[in-house]
A = this chain, B = another copy of it.
């Protein structure tokens, strides 16, 4: 698997993934995992997720912004792990960017609901698995 083939497959996997696993550093040094909805992304290095300000992962990320996200395509035995950091955003532009009516069930006060935050993940390094082979790459 060369890098160009891998990137083509990675972009397809990112595009088709509706849910993404978010890994954070949890209590007492244990890793934690939570499912996030793939709301918006640019390429395979920038991702935005909506979340509750009061959630456990926001308090974990305030304490330690190191994270990873993971995409899986079970049918084709492909997986992608991106390692990077998360910023917690509450500015109105970021909130508007991710807003959809479906979010009202979580944030009844709408776009300005104080419990509505946006997680902005930036990848620094990636590892892509395709069957028995894998490729590790740095992201500028």
Give A contacts to B, CB under 8 Å: 18-19, 21, 23-26, 28-35, 64, 66-70, 72, 74, 79, 81, 83, 105-106, 129, 132
CA distance A70 to B19 in the complex (A): 13
Given A26-B68, A26-B83, A35-B79, A21-B18 contact (CB < 8 Å):
no
Question: Which residues on B sit within 8 Å (CB–CB) of A18?
Answer: 74
- The complex is assembled from copies of this chain, and their number is 2
A33 near B33: Cβ-Cβ < 8 Å: yes
A67 near B21: Cβ-Cβ < 8 Å: no
Task: Output the least CB separation between A118 and chain B (Å).
Answer: 19
A66 near B31: Cβ-Cβ < 8 Å: yes
Task: Output the least CB separation between A64 and chain B (Å).
Answer: 8
- List the 5 shortest-distance A-B pairs measured between CB atoms, nearest first: A23-B31, A33-B70, A31-B31, A23-B33, A30-B66
Q: Select which of B29, B70, B129 is within 8 A of A25 by beta carbon.
A: B29
